Structure formats: C-alpha cells, structure tokens
C-alpha cells in the first residue's frame, strides 16, 4: 500500500523511493521489535525510569536550535543523515510505562491510590506533554495524555481525580485552541463537512471522494486515481482512503477486522502476565494501537475534525512504525509463558512465605 499510494501524476520514480525507504524503516522496526520481545519481562519494570529519562532528553534535544529539524513551522524531528525521527513517538510507550511503574510495587503488585501517587503521576505526564506542546504538536500531546489516562484508569486511580483533572484542563485546552487559528479552522471545516459539504476542507472532500470511488470491491490494487496528486498525504495520514479506493469496502472492513483480531489476540495473552504491572501495561499498549488506528479511520471518514495522525503498521514513515513494532515486542515480552525454572522459583518462594507454627516444625523435623 505504501508503494501504491506513493505514486503521483508526475512521471518520476517517487513511488519506488518511498518504497525503498519504507523497506529500510521496516527492517529497522523489525529489529527493534524483536529486541523488545526477547528482553526479559523484568527489564521493563527495572529500567522504566531510565527509558523515560531518555525520552525527556530527546524531547529537549529536538527543541534546541541546530539540533532539532524544523518543517512547516514545527520543530519535531531529529535528523540522522537521510533518516528523520520524532522523539514524541517514544512518549507513547514510555509515559504509560512510567505510570505503571509509579502505580506498582517492585513485585508488580498495585499500590494503594493516594493523593501523593497521583501528584507524582501528573508530574511525570506533564513534563513530556509540555515539551511536545512547545514543538508544537497538540495532536500528539492529546494522544499521549489519553494513553496516560487509560493506564491510570486501568491501574485503579479513583474517578474523582480524573474529574478534577478534566475540569482543571478545560481553560488550558481552550487557551491553546484560541491561540491557534488553524485549529479553529479545522473544527469549523469539520462542521461544514456535515452541514455544507461544498465548503468542507479540500482534504476531507477528497478523502470521502476517494472512499466513495472504490465501491464494494475497489478499482484494483495500484489502479486508484485519487492518489495521483488529488488526495493530499495519500501515503501517510490518508492511506486508509487509498485502501478504500483500490480494495473497496471489503478492503477497509478487512483492515478493521485485522485490527480487532490483533487486539483480542493480545487480550488473550494477558492471562500469561505475572503481575498487575504487566497486565495493565499490555492492556494499555494494545488499546493505544487500536485507538490510533480507529482515530485515523475516523479522520479519513470525517467522523472527527481533521488531524494528521498516521495509521499504525500501514502508513509510510519510520517513527510510528518503529514505535508500533516496539509496542508489539513489549507485549510479547511481558506475556511470555514462564519457563520451568521460573515456575519452580515461584513455587519455592510461595512456600517460604507460608507461616508455619513451631510445633509443626518440630513434628516435621522429628
């Protein structure tokens, strides 16, 4: 789909260029995901603060003039030769990891929910969110905040704290939107899509047109026309629309079905989790992947205001692909079935914790 959606009306080999780059991204992502999958499950609990600190340092580095790479007024990328990387993508993994680390004891069991614990979590979440907003990238900041909220909810944080935080965040969100006219234009354009389609934003109109052209079976793989300089961001944010045109309704339903299959297969693996830390983190990572895919589909189908968000595992680009496959690798690492030695150690540890009366000890020894 990356190769097909990268074609343009200009007779150049841009499609092959994007394809070759994406193959490199895929190889790097597979290596990173494999490494994450073979790491011992204890690693994530032990080194969560270190991994989170690396993310914060990268987010700081991208804001340094001469270090971060600026595109269209936003300084979000670190460039290494021909490869660019978005540090904000790593926050999607490290923020929920750090939230779970704060909420759980060293053995992985949940701590009691206290005001001090909630303050610690809020501080940890606000640091990367503030840095991402400075780039600026409001969409990613809201996404990371949502993922952090999911992990907090799953870890048993009382509902009153969510209500308090939501009320407190309303003025800040309103202020951010008021300061950015283009964000208000997106909301107005979204409303016009359903009230006055002729005045809807060009990108949204082209997205819906692309989906409609495909019909039930589609025009055929590689035979779509809308990607030929009509549909903006065809190989990234709106690649799902290209799937709809070339593979039809059957293709889009197939993609949605694959995501649901991945999600429920991941939920079945949670039964192998050894602690609350692992089960909460795995559920958060799974939900995050599905949520991002659903959000991308919602944008393409004009169900929510337009916002640049890629489709995990499908859109062109390295940062999101690396993050997505690392997330899957972490899920595999955290849900591996315990080996024989680990089971025996757990049984011995459990027996050592059983209180035994002195008279029983003397009877056993005799």
pLDDT of residue 150: 92
Where residue 158 falls among pLDDT bands split at 50, 70, 90? Answer: confident
pLDDT of residue 184: 67
Q: Among 297, 307, 305, 308, which residue's Cα sits nearest to residue 192? A: 305
Where residue 10 falls among pLDDT bands split at 50, 70, 90? Answer: low
The answer to whether 2 and 235 have CB atoms below 8 angstroms apart is yes
Token pair listed for 138: 């409001």
The answer to whether 214 and 223 have CB atoms below 8 angstroms apart is no
Q: Distance between CA 188 and CA 196 in Å, rounded?
A: 11
- pLDDT, averaged across the chain: 84
Handedness of CA 177, 182, 185, 189 (dihedral sign): negative
- The percentage of residues in the chain with a pLDDT greater than 90, rounded to a whole number, is 45
pLDDT of residue 144: 92
Q: Which of 70-84, 121-135, 175-189, 313-327 is least confident?
A: 175-189
Q: pLDDT tens digits, residue range 257-304?
A: 999 999 999 999 988 888 899 999 999 999 999 999 999 999 999 888
C-alpha torsion angle, residues 335, 339, 343, 344 (rounded to 10): -160
The answer to whether 224 and 242 have CB atoms below 8 angstroms apart is yes
Token pair listed for 313: 């595992």
Higher pLDDT, 83 or 76: 76
pLDDT of residue 281: 94
pLDDT of residue 241: 94
pLDDT of residue 60: 93
Is pLDDT of 185 > 60? yes
Higher pLDDT, 200 or 221: 221
Q: pLDDT tens digits, residue range 199-211?
A: 778 888 899 999 9
* 272 CA to centre of own chain: 23
pLDDT of residue 195: 76
Q: Distance between CA 108 and CA 350 in Å, rounded?
A: 15
* pTM for the full predicted model: 0.85
Q: Among 73, 82, 276, 306, which residue's Cα sits nearest to residue 188? A: 306
pLDDT of residue 176: 58
């Amino acid at each position: 789909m990356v190769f097909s959606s990268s074609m343009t009306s200009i007779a150049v080999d841009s499609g092959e260029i994007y394809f070759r780059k994406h193959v490199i991204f895929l190889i790097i992502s597979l290596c990173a995901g494999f490494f994450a999958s073979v790491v011992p499950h204890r690693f994530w609990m032990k080194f969560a603060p270190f991994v989170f600190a690396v993310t914060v340092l990268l987010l700081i580095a991208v804001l340094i003039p001469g270090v971060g790479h600026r595109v269209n007024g936003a300084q979000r990328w670190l460039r290494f030769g021909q490869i660019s990387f978005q540090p904000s993508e790593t926050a999607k993994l490290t923020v929920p990891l750090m939230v779970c680390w704060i909420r759980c004891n060293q053995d992985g069991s949940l701590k009691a929910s206290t005001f001090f614990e909630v303050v610690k979590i809020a501080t940890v979440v606000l640091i990367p969110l503030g840095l991402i907003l400075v780039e600026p990238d409001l969409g990613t900041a809201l996404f990371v905040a949502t993922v952090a909220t999911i992990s907090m909810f799953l870890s048993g944080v009382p509902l009153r704290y969510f209500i308090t935080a939501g009320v407190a965040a309303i003025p800040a969100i309103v202020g951010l939107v008021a300061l950015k006219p283009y964000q208000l234009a997106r909301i107005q354009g979204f409303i016009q899509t359903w009230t006055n389609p002729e005045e809807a934003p060009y990108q949204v109109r082209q997205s819906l047109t692309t989906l409609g052209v495909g019909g039930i079976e589609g025009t055929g793989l590689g035979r779509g026309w809308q990607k030929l300089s009509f549909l903006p961001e065809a190989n990234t944010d709106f690649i799902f629309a290209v799937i709809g045109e070339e593979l039809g309704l059957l293709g889009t339903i197939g993609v949605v079905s694959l995501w649901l299959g991945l999600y429920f297969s991941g939920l079945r693996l949670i039964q192998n989790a050894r602690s609350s830390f692992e089960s909460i983190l795995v559920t958060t990572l799974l939900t995050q992947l599905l949520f991002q895919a659903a959000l991308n589909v919602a944008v393409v189908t004009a169900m929510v205001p337009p916002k640049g968000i890629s489709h995990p595992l499908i859109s062109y680009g390295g940062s999101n692909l690396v993050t997505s496959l690392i997330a899957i690798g972490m899920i595999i690492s955290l849900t591996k079935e315990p080996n024989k030695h680990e089971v025996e150690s757990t049984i011995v540890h459990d027996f050592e914790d059983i209180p035994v009366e002195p008279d029983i000890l003397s009877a056993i020894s005799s």
